[in-house]
Structure 1
Amino acid sequence: MQEIIDLSQEIYSGMPVYRRLPPVQVEPYATHEEWAGEKDPKTQTPAVNRLDMGEHTGTHVDAISHMGKAYADQSIETMPLSTFYTSGFCLDFSHKGLQALIEPDEIAAACTSCGQEIKKGDTLLFHTDHYRRAFGTPAWGKGPGLSAQSARWLGEQGIAAFGVETMAPGVSGVSNRAVHDICGELNFTHYENLVNLHLLLNRGRFRFIGLPLKIRGGTGSPVRAIAVFEE
């Protein structure tokens, strides 16, 4: 038996996105009534929707090419699928407040507390409870995040990726740019806008899957991220 936990936000018109990114619009492109040739239909049932949004919408993964100009050839479709299909575990940082930094010694202590050791190729998820506390509020863009030192420390452990509930892996205006730079330098990535991380706490390892769309030249992609527990 498997238990599959959905870690992904819904995508819908007007949803919150990171500043200066394209707004999201989902609207019918064709309806079943149009296809059937109905005249003056009383309903409009979508047969095909048009999606207008950026690659970094909702729950998504960043390509290495997103991290800086020097990595332009490492777009999303060039990255190995093994990056997005890994073992993982979740750490509890729900005690962190708005714009608080998560430091390396705190990550090491959290690993010890939950009885896990970081292995090469892992995906580490950071539960801050910021989604449940702040999504859709003015505080949503002010979540906690990794410090630059933490990003470097994680990269040096050889992880494939880490994931956060917030719209940015670091604290915006403090460490976020540096976290991206370090991901590019050390060749690992991150997921943003994850949900349901509270359901993973104190449950040990799981299979993490966050496959991106195969976008030619893509700087990132929405994903349907899941955690799979084998029973």
Structure 2
Amino acid sequence: MFRDCSRPIETGMPTFPGDPEVTLAPDATHEADGYATSELRTGTHAGTHVDAPRHTLPEGAAIDEVDARQFAFDARLVDLRPLEPREAIPAEALPEPSDLDADTDLLVLRTGWAAHWGTDRYRDHPYLTGAAARRCRELGVGVGLDAFGPDPTPSASPAPGEGTGSPREDEPDGTPAHDALLSDSLPIVENLCGLDGLPERFRLYAFPLRLRGGDGSPVRAVAEWEG
């Protein structure tokens, strides 16, 4: 069985705060030109996408330098629900080494935040603690998430402590979870969707565009499993 786990690329879609807006517009049309082409303007981290090590590490590998075979994953679904806005995910929430099959190379973390796509609340997703990121390194696995990423995203709320979903005082700065994973060339797949009803074990295909020197790329993420 197959399931598309990627967000449609479309004009005005949600993007990480500060990233370029996405537009998809006709260029040539059947009526005027006898054929159709479109112009796409997007950042490299729009929609469902993979991060290259160069995303947060200046000397990291670019997306076109990563072997394409590394984007065909043996995935393990980890259901973390229920979670609170901006809740820190500890290492204890992830599998122990003894609970993980040897061929697993991606933990797909279902936080439930896919339900908030297109709203300000989507920014207030849970995130990995430093210990959780280190657990992934010890396991030798990357992460896929139904959220903007493994680190906190700037909130639409103005200041810490000003209501549900506002930043917490103890949130880490920068991109520590990204850095921990990408420094070991462990993959990060972000903004997944359609995780409900997936089996615990499945294959996930998330092939990026071959962008020369790219720091990431949108993907068509597709899950496959035996029915």
TM-score, normalised via structure 1 length: 0.85
Letter paired with 1:52:
R
Which residue is equivalent to 1:197? 195
Distance in structure 2 (CA, Å) of the matches to 1:192 and 1:86? 14
Which residue is equivalent to 1:7? 5
Which residue is equivalent to 1:151? 133
The answer to whether the 8 A contact 2:76-2:104 is kept is no
Shift of residue 184, structure 1, vs aligned partner = 2.6
Distance in structure 2 (CA, Å) of the matches to 1:207 and 1:108? 18
CA shift in 2, pair 1:150/1:83, >3 Å: same
Distance in structure 2 (CA, Å) of the matches to 1:215 and 1:64? 14
Q: String of CA shifts for 1:33-59, please: whole Å, max 9, x gaps.
A: 1114xxxxxxxxx71110001010100
1:80 counterpart = 2:78: no
Correspondence 1:172-211 to 2 at 5 A = 172=153, 174-175=171-172, 177-200=175-198, 203-211=199-207
Which residue is equivalent to 2:148? 167
3-state SS of 1:34 partner: helix
Correspondence 1:25-40 to 2 at 5 A = 25-36=23-34
Distance in structure 2 (CA, Å) of the matches to 1:23 and 1:81? 27
In structure 1, list runs of 5 or more residues that go unmatched.
37-45
Q: String of CA shifts for 1:70-121, please: whole Å, max 9, x gaps.
A: 32xx100110122211211211112111100111111137x98xxx515355
Distance in structure 2 (CA, Å) of the matches to 1:142 and 1:214? 31
1:108 counterpart = 2:95: yes
The answer to whether the 8 A contact 1:156-1:186 is kept is no
Letter paired with 2:80:
F
> RMSD across aligned C-alpha pairs, in angstroms?
1.9
Q: Of Structure 1 and Structure 2, which has the larger fraction of its residues in helix? A: 1
TM-score, normalised via structure 2 length: 0.86
CA shift in 2, pair 1:119/1:171, >3 Å: farther
Q: String of CA shifts for 1:14-37, please: whole Å, max 9, x gaps.
A: 11100110000110011011114x
3-state SS of 2:64 partner: helix
Distance in structure 1 (CA, Å) of the matches to 2:132 and 2:103? 16
Letter paired with 2:145:
V
Distance in structure 1 (CA, Å) of the matches to 2:133 and 2:69? 20
